[in-house]
């Protein structure tokens, strides 16, 4: 191993200057167990890098923040060719429960938390959670039905306003 | 591999400035590394750093924020307060360890991480 001598101390760039002010907006529109995770993982990663993060839950994504459903998201093989199983199998009674159980185990095995616990971590890391006004009206839900740290039920326009200049992910 | 001087010590660092030799770190050096990135270490910081050092020695990889919160019982919120901005990387830097590689938690279960340590010729 050859060593070179650095003249001055090398100090990592933790981006306290240049990337300060970077923002990420994540729109979560799906309520399946498997589709809940991409947004959560990326939001969590961005927060760890000092990025300001706003998540907007809309349509089926509302299940991720609805108290009565957030612990019970499901995974189905139906319509998902990436399981590489015969599609007919997914339609058998009880198959969604089996597939959900299996996926929860795989997620747990890599040390990734359940959706509610993951949201807790995102909020503790400084992430902001917003619920979609139209979805709330459609599903006849209000703040009391939603996970407590959700900061508000807002319109799409309000969300766009809050995330001015942000990079955006639609999931 | 680059050698740099931190205080009175000569240490090996990677291109970004993270220490590459586990054994070259000591607590004095930790204080100096922290000072370089504008952090004055308190007991609360030391609790995190000592956990990271011990955990690395056992696991062969740097703990992520989630691992520190679940294994050492230090809330994620506190980690962000102690090491503002990019807590995981700052913690690793001060503790003289590589940046964490896991997305959420170190991906390794106990078996896989010990294999990894073995492959690397163990902790020096």
pLDDT in tens, B51-83: 999 999 999 999 999 999 999 999 999 999 999
Q: Which residues contact B88 (CB under 8 A, 6 or more apart)?
A: A48, B62, B64, B65, B99, B100
Q: Report all structural domains of chain B as residue ranges with CATH numbers, in order of start.
A: 2-119 (1.10.10.370)
Report the number of distinct structural domains present in chain A: 1
With an 8 Å Cβ cutoff, are B87 and A49 in contact? no
Q: Kindly state the average pLDDT of the residues B76-92.
A: 94
With the CA atoms of A113, B91, B44 and A9 taken in that order, what torsion angle do they form, in degrees rounded to the nearest 10? Answer: 180
Q: Kindly state the average pLDDT of the residues B14-34.
A: 92
Domain assignment present for residue A46? The answer is yes
Residues 109-128 on A with a CB inside 8 Å of B are: 109-113, 121, 124-126
Is the CB of residue A82 less than 8 Å away from at least one CB of chain B? no
Domain assignment present for residue A6? The answer is no
Mean model confidence pLDDT for chain B: 84
How high is the pLDDT of residue B108? 43
Q: How many Cα neighbours within 13 Å face the side chain of A14?
A: 23
Of A74-78, B34-38, B99-103, the poorest mean pLDDT is in: B99-103
Is the model's pLDDT at B109 over the cut of 50? Answer: no
CATH code for the domain of A118: 3.40.1260.10
Q: What Cα–Cα distance (Å) separates residue B107 from each residue in A54, B51, B123?
A: 26, 18, 19
Domain assignment present for residue A165? The answer is yes
3-state SS assignment for residue B108: coil
Residue of A2, A38, A48 to mutate when probing chain B, most B C-beta within 10 A:
A48
How high is the pLDDT of residue A6? 61
Q: How many percent of chain B have pLDDT more than 90?
A: 60
How high is the pLDDT of residue B111? 40
pTM, two decimal places: 0.85
Domain assignment present for residue A137? The answer is yes
Domain assignment present for residue A104? The answer is no
Considering CB atoms only, which of A3, A50, A121 is closest to B66? A121
3-state SS assignment for residue A24: strand
Domain assignment present for residue A143? The answer is yes
Is the model's pLDDT at B34 over the cut of 50? Answer: yes
How high is the pLDDT of residue B120? 46
Domain assignment present for residue A42? The answer is yes
State how far the Cα of A141 lies from the Cα of A30, in Å rounded to an integer.
Answer: 17
Domain assignment present for residue A50? The answer is yes
Q: Which domain holds residue A157?
A: 23-76+114-170
Task: Give the distance from CA A109 to its chain's centroid.
Answer: 19
Q: Which residues of chain A fall short of a pLDDT of 70? A: 1-8, 17-19
* Chain B partners within 8 Å of A113 (Cβ): 66, 104
How high is the pLDDT of residue B45? 97
**β-pair type (A152-154, A4-5):** unpaired
């Amino acid at each position: 191993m050859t060593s070179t001598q650095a003249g001055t101390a090398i100090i990592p760039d933790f981006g306290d200057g240049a990337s300060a002010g970077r923002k990420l907006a994540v729109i979560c529109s799906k309520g399946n167990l498997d589709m809940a995770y991409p947004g959560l993982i990326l939001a969590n990663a961005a927060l760890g890098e000092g990025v300001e993060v706003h998540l907007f839950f809309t349509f089926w994504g509302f299940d991720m923040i609805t108290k009565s459903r957030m612990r019970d998201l499901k995974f189905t093989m139906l319509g998902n060719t990436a399981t590489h199983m015969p599609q007919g199998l997914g339609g058998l009674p009880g198959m969604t429960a089996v597939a959900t159980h299996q996926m929860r185990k795989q997620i747990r095995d890599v040390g990734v938390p359940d959706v509610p616990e993951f949201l807790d971590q995102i909020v503790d890391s400084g992430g902001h959670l917003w619920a979609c006004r139209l979805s709330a009206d459609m599903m006849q839900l209000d703040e009391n039905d939603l996970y407590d740290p959700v900061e508000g039920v807002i319109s799409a326009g309000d969300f766009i306003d809050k995330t001015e200049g942000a990079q955006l992910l639609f999931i | 591999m680059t050698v740099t001087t931190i205080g009175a010590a000569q240490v090996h660092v990677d291109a970004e400035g993270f220490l590459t030799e586990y054994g070259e770190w000591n607590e004095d050096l930790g204080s100096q590394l922290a000072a370089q990135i504008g952090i004055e270490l308190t007991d609360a910081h030391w609790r995190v750093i000592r956990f990271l050092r011990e955990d690395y020695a056992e696991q062969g990889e740097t703990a992520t924020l989630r691992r520190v919160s679940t294994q050492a019982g230090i809330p994620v919120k506190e980690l962000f307060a102690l090491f503002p901005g990019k807590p995981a990387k700052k913690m690793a830097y001060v503790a003289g360890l590589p940046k964490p590689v896991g997305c959420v938690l170190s991906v390794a279960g106990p078996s896989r991480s010990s294999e990894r340590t073995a492959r690397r010729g163990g902790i020096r």
